[in-house]
Amino acid sequence: QVKKQCDQKLLIRMKTKCVPCSLNLDTQCPAGYTKITNGTGTPDCRYYLEIKTHTLSLPGCRHRCVKEFEQPECCQGHWGPDCMGK
């Protein structure tokens, strides 16, 4: 039995919106994603706060999320929708 289907595993990475670090504890990743940062997340971004005529740029935190995705692919030497071609 020759293996015809060799699915590729892809890792999709994303970051949540930048918010004040104190508010980031409860931030969740989108559905299907897994949070890979803990606590308040990573303090590597800035968010903006508008006060009347001024806009303040303040340091904030965000979480990193990943999602594993299997992309169907035929093994080398096979092709077609069912990977039967040789």
Give the residue numbers spanning the domain of 58: 8-85
Would 1 be classed as within a structural domain?
no
Residue among 67, 64, 65, 86 nearest 75 (CA): 86
pTM: 0.73
Would 57 be classed as within a structural domain?
yes
Classify burial at 85, counting beta carbons within 10 Å of its beta carbon; exposed 0-12, middle 13-18, buried 19 or more.
exposed
pLDDT of residue 1: 62
- Measured from the Cβ of residue 18, the count of other Cβ atoms closer than 10 Å reads 20
Q: How many domains does the chain have?
A: 1
Would 53 be classed as within a structural domain?
yes
Would 2 be classed as within a structural domain?
no
Chain-centroid distance of CA 2 in Å reads 34
Would 43 be classed as within a structural domain?
yes
CA 58, CA 21: separation in Å to the nearest integer?
10
**Which helix (H) or strand (E) segment is 14 a member of?**
strand 8-15
**Tens-digit pLDDT profile for residues 8-64:** 999 999 999 999 999 999 999 999 999 999 999 999 999 999 999 999 999 999 999
Would 26 be classed as within a structural domain?
yes
**Tens-digit pLDDT profile for residues 59-68:** 999 999 999 9
pLDDT of residue 61: 98
Would 48 be classed as within a structural domain?
yes
